[in-house]
A and B are shown apart, each in its own frame.
Chain A
Amino acid sequence: MFQNRETRETTRIVARHSNMSRPTGEALYKKYSLFADGNDWRRFVPIALLSIGAALTLSGIVFFFAYNWQDLPKAAKIAMVQVLMIATACYGIFSSGNKTAKNIALMAASILTGALFAVYGQIYQTGADAYDFFLGWAVAIAIWVLVSGFPPLWALELILLNLVTVLYAEQSNIEWDTSTLSLILFILNAVPLLILETLRYFKKLPEHSSWMLKATAVAAVIAITTTAIHIIFSRENESATTATWLFIVVLFPLAMWHSFRQRELFYLALIPFGIIIIITASFLKGIDDGGPATLFLAGVFVIGSITALTYNLIRLNRKWHGAEQNN
């Protein structure tokens, strides 16, 4: 992949800055198979159609049961979802079809498990949006998630765990203040992120899964940024405050350094934005003492820092990836 991208960039730069003719350039692109050809499309289309089909079918099933048909006997409801779930799971486990199709079937079975629990909750009235519902779901599919090695399934599990945490904090009577809750959410996403980065380092990350890593990173940075903002506005909890600043001081530079070494803009864009938000929040905190002038300063700071950041990102991008890089 990486090799491929480099070749494409080199070809593009050479094509742009020499008197190479357009047909020659295109021939070169073809030679290094840098254009998606018939075979690539033949691989892509079935997977895309299968994923879209599965997603639409599943949402159809979920909404069908969400309607809560009174005339449908409860045994029928339970049997219908269960048979569907078992059938898709069996396809995912036993079929000799291709790996992606099996993984998508396992993903469908995992979502149908959620539908099954939802129907159970409807019939036996176990409470709306209860954290135990999502916890039960997350636990029930845990082995599938771990064994499958399928990033969309990891994403589903992580979303469920985030939901469980938030709902638990709302519904139980443990008294987490807001900064503690968002700090816990940060750890919940940072740990998987660390695992994903480690997998990537050892080249064990499945193909086409950098989106999962990036989504997790965005979730983690949003969580720690939110925590910092809570702390700036109300110092509720001393230990959460210490932990947060420690995480920021250690992990932010580490992630940026990592990004720099990988010649990748991702953390270099994400983290400075987090920092800008945190600094802006502290400007706004000072508004009581400084009055309207603080608001003005905050505005100037946002414009200035975003401009500087964007400028530097463009400069780095040019340096690393050539004159024009669109992806």
Chain B
Amino acid sequence: MSKLKKILLIVNLALIVVLFNFSVYKKEQTLHNGTLVLMPLAPVDPRSLMQGDYMRLNYNYGEVNSGELAKRGYCVVKLNDSNVATVVRFQPSMKPLATNERLVKYFVGSAGVRIGAESYFFEEGTADKYAEAKYGALRVDDKGNSVLHGLYDENKRLIK
């Protein structure tokens, strides 16, 4: 094997490892420091080949026509005392933002508004307990990046 070939193979490996762990780090940051946002939802449950069982999530954005929205932007939500979100409006940039409002990045896909966490993966065979889910629990940082970290039931408790 030529030296150049070897170097290229190593560079590829290093790139995967570094970039991968960096994105793990970023997700962990959002999970630890983000605000809890409970998005109301309406679930169904299919299965993915490489990742196992999951539940497809449909968030309740209220009355919105995705055709009229910008392709990418921010969904502005207002939180009540128990962190349950109500969608206030969609806007293309981070401003304006009132103090009691939070940003969640969205994009418009073929199925309408998406925030990136439209499914919830869980251990195979445990679908039943997640059927009671009423809220998708997101951790959201101040730039609108969100990580879905669990599903909550109607009493706002994490389903485990």
Contacts and interface: CB of A to CB of B under 8 A. Distances in A.
Interface of A: 62, 65-70, 78, 82, 85-86, 89-90, 92-93, 99, 102, 106, 109, 113-118, 120-129, 140-144, 147-148, 170-173
Nearest to A149: B5
Most buried by A among B9, B21, B53: B9
B6 A68 contact: no
Contacts of B51: 66, 68, 118, 121-122, 128
Interface residues of B, number: 45
Contact of A106 (B9, B21, B56, B121): B9
A81 B125 CA distance: 23
Contacts of B122: 68, 70
Contact of B24 (A67, A68, A120, A122): A120
B54 interface: yes
A173 B49 contact: no
A173 B121 contact: no
B27 interface: yes
B128 interface: no
Nearest to B6: A93
B9 A173 contact: no
A120 B13 contact: no
B86 interface: no
Contacts of A128: 46, 48, 51, 54, 56, 118-119, 121
A109 B116 CA distance: 27
Chief secondary structure at chain A's binding surface? helix
Interface of B: 1, 5-6, 8-13, 15-17, 19-21, 23-24, 27, 46, 48-54, 56, 71, 108-111, 116-124, 126, 147-149
B118 A127 contact: yes
B24 A93 contact: no
A70 B123 CA distance: 6
Given A67-B124, A70-B123, A92-B9, A124 B50 contact: no
B124 A82 contact: no
8 contacts: A66-B48, A67-B124, A89-B13, A118-B50, A122-B51, A128-B121, A147-B12, A171-B109
B71 A127 contact: no
A69 B123 contact: yes
B16 A127 contact: no
B58 to A, nearest CB: 13
Contacts of A143: 8-9, 11-12, 15
Most buried by B among A65, A66, A116: A66
Nearest to B5: A147
Most buried by B among A86, A140, A147, A148: A147
A106 B13 CA distance: 10
Most buried by A among B1, B12, B20, B48: B12
B136 to A, nearest CB: 9
Contacts of A122: 51-52, 121
Contacts of B119: 125, 127-128
